[in-house]
Amino acid sequence: MRYNSVGEKVQQVFGRGALAMIWDYIEINPFTEVGWRNMEDWVSMVLEYCLKIPNVYDPADSTVKLPKVTQNSATTLPYPDGFFDAIITDPPYYDNVPYSHLSDFFYVWLKRSVGFLYPELFSTPLTPKSEEIVAYSTGEDGMYGVDFFERMLGKAFSEMYRVLKPDGIAVIVFAHKTTAAWETMIRGLLNSGLYLTASWPISTEMETRLRSFGSAALASSIYMVCRKRTEEKSIYFNELKEEIIENINNKLEYFWNHDIRGSDFFVSAIGPAVEVFGKYSKVEKLSGESVTVAELLDYVQRLVAEYALRRVLKTNDLGGIEGGSRLYLLWRMVFNNSRVPFDEARKLSQNIGVEITDLWNGGFVKKEKEFVIVLDPFERSKDSFFMKQERHDQLVDALQYSLILWEGGKREKLQEFLEESGWSSKEIFGQYAQALAEILPDGDKEKIALQGFLYGLKTLTSREKPVTLLDYSGEKS
């Protein structure tokens, strides 16, 4: 057990997909309401739910068949061709969770308690790991795990294709915020002969889980409904673009109107693109080369970035916002304050026409080993070079500098800066600040500062003559 300070309660050991060495393990009285009885209630609820699975009447031989649970490898299913009407699977999420290693925690106790009832399942000292389909980067080049994951996941999808009836459906659940994971999964899926007919983000994660704090973790999993591709067709990518754009925009509009934001919004757009792309066995460039899944995902991310910017800024004209300021806004929307692997950061920036390496010497981007972080105004206030600059021509720099002056109570200097730089008369300045305030999560320090600043900025620009800025309480500073 461990102690959760949020709510001041005792709860299960696994607050995330790992068994971390932390200092809040405790022992409790098993006979109290929060002890054995509480744990027993959860187990009882699961058993009660599972026992509701109905028996199935088979008209072929007039028998009632019980639900059957078996343990088999997903790559070699013991069923004949065309056996199932539907297959629902939740495969491992790339490199997110070391499933078999975590299973060892329970395995040793189960082996001692019920192992004699199922000797074939407990024949090894610990859980078998060599055939586990996960992307642990092992080997000298660090790519063995990724290659193994793609190869074995592809074999599992091919087995699903084989045992699925011609008109059957397969539902695949996947969640990962990196394009590398999605690229690997989609390649395996398309190579198996399955293609998407529909995809929907469904909220599956608890907001209170430890994994969600201080990260850009997804709150949704993508449910992908797939069918067997029944004919081999090829098409040029240029002929397909219009259909991809239409399908993505329709779905993005729906997702946005249903308050799907952040990483979830970007990931949710992958399905609608693959729905169109996957109908064809081959999608070619005019040169005759095949369009790769990586190229498709880059194209999707570019479309989503443009859509998201138009929606948060409430304008179709993005010409007045330079690339760096676009990147800052998108970064806060997708990753917020998280550290992000360099390759993911590079892809996001390149898809809006920005070279991220141009922004980390005196800019708002900072590299820490293999990760990239974006600096908020409070972190940039520690940069003497940034603070000594007399001009801030980039929108994000001007806003961050303004917020630093605002939070420091330097109202006269702020008013002088806005007037001399001309930002106080540019409508896009207020639009950008408002958009940033709206996408940041409640309680975020930068959001709170922006809300106060916007109040003062409104009073400044609402009259012809400059007036004294007001603080958030409405009192003159």
Return the HEC string of 6-49: CCCEEECCCCECECCCCCCECCCCCCCCCCHHHHHHHHHHHHHH
Task: Read off the pLDDT of residues 337-349 as tens digits, 9 standing for 90 and up.
Answer: 888 888 888 888 9
- Count of H-run helices and E-run strands, the chain: 16, 13
The confidence score (pLDDT) of residue 102 equals 84
The confidence score (pLDDT) of residue 461 equals 52
Question: pLDDT category, 28, cuts 50, 70, 90?
Answer: low
Specify the DSSP element, H or E, that contains 406. Answer: helix 395-407
The confidence score (pLDDT) of residue 45 equals 92
Q: What count of Cα atoms within 13 Å lies in the side-chain half-sphere of residue 20?
A: 12
The confidence score (pLDDT) of residue 246 equals 93
Residue with tokens 């989503």: 304
**Across 88-97, 144-153, 228-237, which has the greatest mean pLDDT?**
228-237
Q: What letters, b where the CB count within 10 A reaches 16 and e where it falls short, cover 438-459?
A: ebbeeebebbebbebbbbbbee
User: E-strand spans in 238-370?
Assistant: 282-284, 340-341, 365-368
What is the average pLDDT value for the chain, to the nearest integer?
A: 82
The domain ranges of the chain are 1-59, 314-461
Secondary structure class of 234 (helix, strand, coil): strand
CB 318 within 8 A of CB 309: yes
Beta bridge partners of 341: 371
Question: pLDDT category, 127, cuts 50, 70, 90?
Answer: confident
CB 243 within 8 A of CB 276: yes
Distance CA 340, CA 45 (A): 38
φ/ψ of residue 116, rounded to 5: -70, -20
The confidence score (pLDDT) of residue 210 equals 38
Is it the case that residue 215 has pLDDT exceeding 60?
no
Question: pLDDT category, 21, cuts 50, 70, 90?
Answer: low
Strands 2-4 and 9-11, by their bridges, are antiparallel
Distance CA 248, CA 303 (A): 8
Q: Cα–Cα distances in Å, from 353 out to 50, 205, 263, 348?
A: 51, 33, 20, 9
Q: Where are the alpha helices (DSSP H) in 141-211?
A: 144-163, 179-191
Q: Cα–Cα distances in Å, from 86 out to 80, 81, 125, 195, 262?
A: 14, 13, 35, 14, 32
